[in-house]
Copies of this chain bind each other. A is one copy, B any other.
């Protein structure tokens, strides 16, 4: 399983509709409003790398009023209590 985290900025006054729309997308597991300079922190899980590319470019980046994204891929999970999340 692949996990991608995305920090996103939206046009002012549109973070809520961006957040709702992104939460509807396939593969998206969590969407949070966060403090700081970004509006949203998004967690997406995939079964293969090609899906990540399709998700970012065909779905996420077409959400209206999304302004900028920074993506981080997880390549390891620490700790035991996360059990079956370990790849």
Contacts and interface: CB of A to CB of B under 8 A. Distances in A.
Interface of A: 2-5, 12-16, 19-20, 22-24, 28-38, 40-41, 49-50, 52-53, 56-58, 61-62, 66-82, 85, 87
Contacts of A41: 5, 72, 74
A53 to B, nearest CB: 4
Contacts of A61: 12-15
B30 A72 contact: no
| A-B complex: 7 closest residue pairs judged by Cβ atoms | A23-B79, A53-B76, A33-B76, A32-B74, A31-B78, A23-B78, A19-B78
A52 B75 contact: yes
A9 to B, nearest CB: 9
